[in-house]
Amino acid sequence: MAEKSNEKLFTEFPPVSTAEWEEVIREDLKGADYEKKLVWKTHEGFSVRPYYRSEDLANLETVHVKPGDFPYVRGNHQKGNPWLIRQDFDVCLDKPTDANRKALEMLSRGVESLGFNLCSDCEPTLDSISRLLKNINLTGVEVNFTGGSATAKALPFIVKYFEQSGVKPTDVKGSIDYSPLTTLALKGKFCCDTDSSYDGLVNVLNAAKKFPNFRVIGINAHVFHNCGASAVQELAFALAMASDYLNALTDKGFGIDELTPRIRFNFAVGSSYFMEIAKFRAARMLWAKMVEAYKPASKENARMSIHAETSRWNMTVYDAYVNMLRTTTESMSAVLAGVDSLNVLPFDAPFAEPSAFSERIARNQQILLREESYFDKVADPAAGSYYIENLTMAIAEHAWNLFLEVDALGGFREAFVKGFIQQKISEVAAKRDANIASRRETVLGTNQYPNFTEVADVNKVKPEAVTRPKAEKPADALAQPLVPYRGAQAFEELRYRTDRSGRRPKVFMLTLGNLAMRRARAQFSCNFFAVAGFEVTDNIGFANVDEGVKAALNAKSDIVVICSSDDEYATLAPEAFEKLSGKAIFVVAGEPACKPDLEAKGITNYISVKSNLLDTLLKYQAMLGIK
């Protein structure tokens, strides 16, 4: 048997200092700006360096925390990574038997946590709740009810059913998402005087008093995310909302140990993979520190209960199957970060009532993460990552600073009434929208690499599904409400306008000259115009301008895009423009140095990577009479 060696691996290689690495990097940049080339300026308000090293962990106390230990940055569990596979669906209490049948089917297919989305105008009764929950094993299944004030109305009947079920009160697990401040955020006002005084919170706490593991206060942070907020804002405003509730309820005589086990944080999980992992880790840490200030009897009461839902903001109507890719990576972020439960949205959620197929896929995404990827086996696998540990602390620092700004304004309610929260979110949302419009941020299948042949079924996809909703302040509102939307909607509305017109303008690639340049520019231009739902015709190449123009006219093209090299545009573009004789819109692919000369000859249309894609395509739709 070979002798064991205590020598460390790779000792023959000398250590390389950060200064040495930086010197090599700057040499490779050859004078280019380091900050612009390699440093990521995030929506969260901080910069991310191109690499991190062990020395970047030196002053981070959290790296020495074990899983399950305060401040729970590494999760609530000492071993493993258990999370509940949850599935939410709409429930009409006029037909509780149908909903019950669907719930039981979901449970038989791997779901462990049910989310009943109660309709706002339904009137709950003990009979409807009893039929909804019939044959559901309350000791093994978490039951959750969403719908804000609707859940508060249903709670007395839910509790009555629990009492009649004979189940041990401590075995009942679940939640409602009652949150007066969520109503204020989305409607600009409270639903009633009870909400504005937080007496409604007192009522739900007292109603569920016998069931200590049933959470009745929802901190609905996903609302901020789905209005375009950054991860820092989502976390900061969630903490501010929770702080308002804690302050109000402790003033009403509740102790911190009574309150925190009743609160559930409902977050969205976005597309920035590592950022989202760090967000959840930072969230647990900040909440634990906040609760610690109230001096709980047990630090276990400082654990944050997190339910996550995949991002609605990130979903698309066009090329909807890509949504499955989005929700898969989002799910991975949430699970690796140690959330307590997760709901994966069906891929068709933005435009239709989810089908049996889409719901099945949504469930199976989580089952695959557990049963085939073994994501439940290891607690906090991200621990010790130089990058994620630093992201965690950066998010925590910036979220806490933003929380303090809100607190200085008097807390969440006052800051919202003053418009501070709306302003902060709208600033980030506008940047994100601008990045999508200019393709600095890719929405696959929507503003980049669209499905060329896809046409929306206007009988099934309604205009409201693709149109960004407008913010309207009710006359009796206290503040301007937030309006959830999806990042893709501006482009979807653009393409839907083409589909609804009943015509597909033809865009012809007039490919001439240099092979490499004409191919590259033709591919770029095809993608560019296909985003608007235009029919594109690519070509291998034409021998001369006459041949290309003749083919374009024979194809009855609405737009002709000349694709060649900058040098050749000086002669080829004017010749092609003249021979088209205004029979089609003439476009030059690129921003050639000879552009001023071409413009002097009447050539006014150009597309390039510098173009604002959305504005440019809206212009061409207008030129073609598509409204």
Domain ranges in the chain?
62-408, 503-623
Q: Give a three-class secondary structure readout of 250-307.
A: HHCCCCHHHHHHHEEEEEEECCCHHHHHHHHHHHHHHHHHHHHCCCCCCHHHHCCCEE
Distance (Å) of CA 564 to CA 128, 146, 323, 523: 68, 57, 36, 12
Q: Which residues of the chain are under the pLDDT cut of 50?
A: 1
47-48 and 40-41: which strand pairing? antiparallel
* In 315-470, beta strands by DSSP E: 341-343
Q: Which two tokens stand for residue 372?
A: 């085939």
Residue 452 has which token pair?
A: 């060329």
Which of 264, 277, 366, 337 minimizes the C-alpha distance to 307?
264
DSSP state, residue 302: G
How far apart CA 261 and CA 250 sit, in angstroms, is 14
Closest by CA to 160, choosing from 202, 96, 211, 122, is 211
Residue that is written with structure tokens 């991975």 in the block: 332
pLDDT at 1: 44
Which positions ≥6 away from 295 have C-beta within 8 Å?
256
Q: Which residues pair with 430 in a beta bridge?
A: none
Cα dihedral sign, 441-447-450-454: positive
Which CATH class name applies to 62-408? alpha beta
Residue 92, judged by CB atoms within 10 A of its CB (0-12, 13-18, 19+), counts as middle
In angstroms, rounded to a whole number, what is the distance separating the alpha carbons of residues 277 and 264? 18
Instruction: Report pLDDT for 70.
Output: 97
Fold of the CATH domain 503-623: Rossmann fold (3.40.50)
Continuous segment of H or E residues that includes residue 247: helix 231-251
Q: Could you tell me what percentage of the chain is helix, strand and coil, using 3-state DSSP and rounding each to the nearest 5?
A: 45, 10, 40
Phi, psi dihedral angles at 586 (to 5 degrees): -100, 130
Q: What distance in Å separates the CA atoms of residue 149 and residue 242, rounded to the nearest whole number?
A: 17
| Selection from 514, 499, 310, 304 nearest residue 396 by Cα | 304
How many CB atoms lie under 10 A from the CB of residue 65? 18
Question: What is the number of alpha carbons within 13 Å of residue 30 lying toward its C-beta?
Answer: 0
User: CA 343 to CA 88: how far, in whole Å?
Assistant: 7
Between CA 463 and CA 472 the distance in angstroms is 18
Helix, strand, or coil here: 301? helix
Radius of gyration of the chain measured on its C-alpha atoms = 28
Q: Which two tokens stand for residue 187?
A: 């409607």
Q: Is 506 helix (H, G, I), strand (E, B) or coil?
A: strand
